């Protein structure tokens, strides 16, 4: 099972609201062109999804991967809004809230593909 499938199974209103709060803060920093905090919050969003999944080995792996990815994003992306769109995060949370695992998986795949294509442009 994927992170988002597992997160869907454990999504509570409190956890969903926490994700929405992270997205709102990420959006605020993007709108202020504050790249560092926006990138950190984007990474935190992915770490919180892993925590919601209740899969300790996967969460530990992502805890090592997300900081490295954030550094790469910070180095290669010129604008904060292109590396990890808050709109994509919001759509994933909407699917989690509805416990629609297949939609959440499709949205996460699209989101990660978008991120990869953005980074490959600069490699």
Model pLDDT for residues 5-58, shown as the tens digit of each residue: 999 999 999 999 999 999 999 999 988 988 888 888 988 998 999 999 998 888
The domains of the chain are located at 3-121
Quick one: pLDDT at residue 122? Answer: 58
* Mean pLDDT computed over every residue of the chain: 85
Mean pLDDT of the region 85-96:
92
User: If pLDDT is split at 50, 70 and 90, which confidence band does 117 have?
Assistant: confident
Choose the most confident range, by mean pLDDT, from 37-51, 92-106, 107-121.
Answer: 92-106
Model confidence band, residue 76 (pLDDT cutoffs 50, 70, 90): low
| Angle (CA) 9 12 15, round 5° | 110
Residue spans of alpha helices (H) in the chain: 3-10, 13-31, 35-52, 56-76, 80-83, 86-97, 101-121
pLDDT at 15: 94
Query: Domain 3-121 class?
Result: mainly alpha
d(CA 73, CA 84): 9
Higher pLDDT pick, 39 / 102? 102
> pTM for the full model?
0.82
Q: Is the pLDDT of residue 80 over 50?
A: no
């Amino acid at each position: 099972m994927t992170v988002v499938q597992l997160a869907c199974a454990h999504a509570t209103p409190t956890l969903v609201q926490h994700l929405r709060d992270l997205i709102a803060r990420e959006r605020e920093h993007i709108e202020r062109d504050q790249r560092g905090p926006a990138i950190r919050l984007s990474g935190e969003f992915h770490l919180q999804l892993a925590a919601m999944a209740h899969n300790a080995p996967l969460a530990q792996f992502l805890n090592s991967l997300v900081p490295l990815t954030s550094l790469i994003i910070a180095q290669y992306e010129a604008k904060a809004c292109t590396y990890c769109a808050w709109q994509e995060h919001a759509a994933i949370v909407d699917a989690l809230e509805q416990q629609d695992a297949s939609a959440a998986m499709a949205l996460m795949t699209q989101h990660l593909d978008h991120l990869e294509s953005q980074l490959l442009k600069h490699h």
